[in-house]
């Protein structure tokens, strides 16, 4: 026995109840007891092309029709709803309806609720290209009903005014159940991705999304059906497009923060660190959002208390990169970030980037900047005292140090350009100097002078780091040495 299902036939809506019904169709008004979670998807067929749509676009079309009516009871829009059919037929139905209604755009609202899959096709009477309302007669509506039934392979049987019954092979209960499950699964996946992207919008205010293909050397900006390229709310995101790109081989989805123009300047609302070490997490400013981009790789998104101009924010971000020993290759303020909720195709196993933690503590960004300033002052003072001590007590070391700074200082920059890693550049610099015969004491002082990020670290951290770097380099040069050399040119340089 065939399974019977019902759907409402085509209906014209006027201003009276048209707005209320539109709100119900878009699930801005719904019965929470009957529909616990209003899962919908919006599209529009324009000029033969199917695109994503948003609610605002439909409401704007509604207002346009209200403002261009020539009589009070004129039709505002036409709706046709179809239930439990193969969604692959959606575009064909929309194309037929667009042709039937003189090429007007067809808005498609797909629902997955109450155990059924429903689609509302909405065609507004007027738009920029259509100054007059369509003229559909009863015969046209009758033809429309039967044609849509043929497209969906559902037999149409009259059952009184306003209702029809679709009976056919595609109304099989098992197939319908599988179809609903598929749509619900997609809706759940979309919701998960939106929940991952939402913290990025909260930190930066708005973002722009790009699809990057490194193999082809191509990058294009992602936009939604309204042409929007900056997204400040998850409802503006072209979710279907993002999910399609996420499945496409070689395409990596990244984003950059929105810049806000004010008084002739550009401002940002957040800062960024790439490859921030886990041991630094507890000292990050409160509110920082951590995103795991791959195993043991994390990006930190730091909200600002108030928007800062791009120049100031860029300087602060560069300081934080050195302070937290994050990836120096990502110092640029608008450096691309991984979009959480989607795959990182840089790796073979394609891990999904995901928000793992939001830092909650009593540390503010101002406190961190004050600490950086204090560290810089203490290290510079220690450096000056050390120089004075060496010049007075150890002229030979002072002479070596002066020679290093005059002839070898630029080699550190060269090593950093090769490695893009500060620690590696430090080690190469130290090895080069020791192999040239400079004393460990002179090399240690030279490293303190040329390594640009050391001065903003804690003073004890600096001396400990230099001590370990020198000893490790000595072990490489003299692998059979059992006793490590202790660098202690004066009390200011004790470990």
Q: In the chain, what are the domain boundaries?
A: 4-171, 181-363, 368-493
pLDDT at site 477? 86
Q: Which is it for strands 265-274 and 260-262: parallel, antiparallel or unpaired?
A: antiparallel
Q: Is 127 exposed, middle or buried (0-12, 13-18, 19+ CB in 10 A)?
A: middle
Distance CA 463, CA 495 (A): 6
* Domain boundaries 181-363, corresponding CATH code: 3.30.70.1790
Report how far residue 420's alpha carbon sits from residue 234's, in angstroms, rounded to the nearest whole number: 36
pLDDT value at residue 158: 44
pLDDT of residue 480: 64
pLDDT of residue 343: 92
Q: Please say whether the beta carbons of 113 and 35 come within 8 A.
A: yes
The b/e string for 334-350 (b: 16+ C-beta within 10 A; e otherwise) is bbbbbbbbbbbbeeeee
Task: Give me the pLDDT at residue 169, please.
Answer: 43
Angle between helices 310-323 and 365-393 (to 10 degrees): 60
Classify strands 49-52 and 40-46 as parallel, antiparallel or unpaired: antiparallel
DSSP H helices in 122-273: 138-152, 173-204, 239-247
What predicted TM-score, i.e. pTM, was given to this entire model?
Answer: 0.59
Q: Which of 344, 363, 230 minimizes the C-alpha distance to 291?
A: 344
How many whole angstroms separate alpha carbon 177 and alpha carbon 188?
Answer: 16
Q: Which tokens belong to 386?
A: 């050390």
pLDDT of amino acid 300: 96
What CATH code would you report for 4-171? 3.30.930.30
**Angle between helices 395-407 and 440-450 in degrees, nearest 10:** 50
- Find out whether 20 and 29 touch, Cβ atoms under 8 Å: yes
Note the pLDDT of residue 170.
47
What does the pLDDT read at residue 435?
92
Which strand (E) or helix (H) includes residue 307?
strand 297-309
CB 66 within 8 A of CB 18: no
pLDDT of residue 391: 76
Q: Could you check whether 4-171 and 181-363 share the same CATH topology?
A: no
Q: What is the largest CA-CA distance in the chain?
A: 108
The neighbour count for residue 354, using CB atoms within 10 Å, is 16
Q: Tell me what pLDDT residue 163 has.
A: 36
Bridge partners, residue 255, by sequence: 209, 337
Please give the chain's pLDDT, 495 residues, in tens.
233 333 446 788 888 778 888 988 888 876 666 555 667 889 999 988 899 899 999 999 999 998 888 887 888 999 998 887 778 889 999 999 999 999 999 999 988 665 567 899 999 999 988 888 888 887 788 788 888 888 888 766 543 333 334 434 444 566 666 767 777 788 888 889 999 999 999 999 999 999 988 777 778 899 887 788 999 999 899 888 899 899 888 889 999 999 999 889 999 999 999 999 999 999 999 999 999 999 999 999 999 999 999 999 999 999 999 899 898 888 899 999 999 999 998 888 899 999 999 999 999 999 999 998 988 888 888 878 777 777 778 888 888 888 888 898 889 889 888 887 778 888 999 999 999 999 888 888 888 888 877 878 777 788 888 888 998 988 888 776 544 555 544 444 443
Which residue in 74, 75, 124 sits closest to 102, CA to CA? Answer: 124
């Amino acid at each position: 026995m065939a399974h019977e299902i019902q759907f409402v036939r085509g209906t014209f809506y006027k201003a009276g109840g048209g707005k209320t019904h539109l709100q119900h169709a878009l699930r801005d008004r719904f019965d929470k007891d009957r529909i616990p979670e209003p899962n919908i998807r919006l599209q529009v067929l324009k000029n033969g092309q199917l695109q994503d749509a948003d609610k605002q676009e439909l409401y704007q079309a509604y207002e346009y029709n209200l403002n261009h009516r020539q009589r009070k009871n004129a039709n505002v829009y036409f709706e046709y709803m179809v239930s439990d059919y193969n969604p692959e037929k959606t575009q064909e139905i929309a194309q037929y309806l667009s042709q039937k209604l003189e090429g007007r755009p067809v808005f498609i609202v797909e629902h997955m609720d109450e155990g059924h899959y429903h689609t509302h096709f909405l065609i507004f009477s007027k738009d920029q290209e259509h100054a007059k309302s369509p003229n559909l007669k009863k015969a046209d509506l009758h033809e429309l009903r039967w044609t849509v039934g043929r497209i969906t392979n559902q037999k149409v049987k009259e059952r009184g005014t306003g209702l029809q019954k679709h009976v056919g092979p595609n109304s099989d209960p098992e197939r319908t159940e599988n179809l609903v499950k598929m749509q619900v699964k997609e809706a759940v996946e979309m919701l998960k991705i939106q929940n991952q992207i939402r913290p990025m919008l909260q930190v930066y205010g708005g973002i722009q999304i790009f699809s990057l293909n490194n193999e082809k050397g191509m990058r294009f900006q992602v936009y939604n059906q309204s042409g929007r390229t900056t997204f400040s709310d998850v409802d503006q995101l072209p979710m279907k497009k993002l999910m399609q790109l996420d499945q496409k081989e070689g395409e990596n989805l990244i984003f950059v923060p929105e810049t806000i123009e004010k008084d002739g300047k550009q401002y940002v609302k957040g800062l960024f660190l790439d490859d921030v070490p886990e041991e630094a997490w507890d000292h990050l400013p409160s509110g920082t959002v951590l995103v795991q981009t791959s195993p043991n790789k994390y990006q930190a998104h730091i909200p600002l208390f108030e928007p800062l101009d791009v120049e100031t924010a860029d300087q602060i971000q560069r300081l934080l990169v050195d302070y937290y020993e994050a990836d120096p290759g990502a110092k640029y303020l608008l450096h691309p970030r991984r979009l959480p909720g989607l795959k990182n195709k840089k790796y073979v196993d394609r891990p999904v980037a995901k928000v793992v933690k939001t830092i909650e503590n009593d540390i503010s960004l101002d406190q961190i900047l004050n600490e950086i300033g204090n560290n810089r002052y203490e290290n510079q003072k220690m450096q000056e005292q050390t120089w004075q001590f060496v010049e007075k007590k150890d002229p030979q070391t002072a002479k070596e140090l002066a020679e290093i700074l005059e002839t070898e200082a630029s080699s550190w920059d060269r090593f950093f350009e090769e490695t893009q890693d500060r620690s590696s550049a430090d080690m190469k610099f130290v090895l080069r100097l020791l192999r040239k015969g400079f004393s460990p004491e002179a090399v240690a002082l030279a490293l303190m002078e040329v390594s640009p990020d050391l001065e903003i670290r804690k003073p004890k951290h600096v001396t400990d780091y230099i001590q370990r770097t020198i000893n490790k380099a000595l072990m490489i040069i003299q692998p059979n040495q059992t006793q490590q050399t202790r660098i202690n040119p004066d009390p200011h340089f004790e470990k």
